[in-house]
Amino acid sequence: MEAIGRFRHGEERPREVKKLQDCKDLWEIRVQVEGDAFRALFFYDLGPVCVCVTAIQKKQQRLPKPDRERALERMATWQEEGKKRRKDPPT
């Protein structure tokens, strides 16, 4: 959470956050916890809202294809459900 806070205030550390290439609007944040590396994939929804769609323990340099696809699917689902909610707000 500290890393996301730094990013939102423009104070991220080098190589801590990057926009993923060829992944629409997905971003990746990398953190170290007690010597283990983790990645969380997220996107922005309606301005300041960050939605984390998956988190994995990083074991390799490249993001595995199944994790990338899962994140894209979850982002698409979130965005589609959001469109439905905006069209038909609760009464």
Cβ–Cβ < 8 Å for 39, 16: no
Is 80 exceeded by the pLDDT of residue 91? no
Domain count for the chain, please give it: 1
Closest CA to 41 of 61, 62, 18, 59: 18
Closest CA to 29 of 9, 60, 6: 6
pTM of the model: 0.77
* Tens digit of each residue's pLDDT (9 = 90 or more) over 1-34: 677 778 777 888 878 888 888 888 899 988 888 8
* Residue 8, domain extent: 2-87
Which pLDDT does position 72 carry in this prediction? 93
Which pLDDT does position 6 carry in this prediction? 81
Cβ–Cβ < 8 Å for 75, 43: yes
